[in-house]
Amino acid sequence: MSAASRLAQRRDLEARRSALAGVANVMIATPQMSLEAAADVARKAGITPLILANDVEGEARDVALVHAAIARKCMPSPALRPPCVLIFGRETTVTVRGTGRGGRNAESCWRLASPWTATPASMRSPRY
């Protein structure tokens, strides 16, 4: 690397540090605290919450299929009658192929709905 390149890199780094000089990062909640807050909102709305995980990672399409399988297993449970909500948290990813649009939430919803539509009507909540 030439001296001119090193100098340019140093100036760029100094400019970035200067731009961030007044920035402070503050964590206002842990992942678990966020899930518990969501559960509180559900309870207040008359919906039974069940927090299952605060460390979900992976491709959104794969994670959604696992969530759908868990939801289908929970539905006949007498302890978890509709209306209910299964709460998961963390970060999923989406690998975009081609000219796809949307994001991880759209991908998760689409994939979650796909196997759910094959669920027998007797396992679906009549309310929804």
Domain ranges of the chain: 29-121
Instruction: List the CATH code of the domain at 29-121.
Output: 3.40.1480.10
Distance of CA 49 to the CA centre of its chain: 16
97 class by beta-carbon count within 10 Å (0-12 exposed, 13-18 middle, 19+ buried): exposed
Task: Please give the pLDDT value at position 66.
Answer: 86
Tell me if residue 31 falls in helix, strand or coil: helix
Q: How does pLDDT run along the chain (128 residues), one tens digit per residue? A: 788 888 888 888 888 888 888 888 888 888 899 999 999 999 999 998 999 888 888 888 888 888 888 887 777 677 777 788 889 987 888 888 777 677 877 888 887 777 655 555 544 444 43
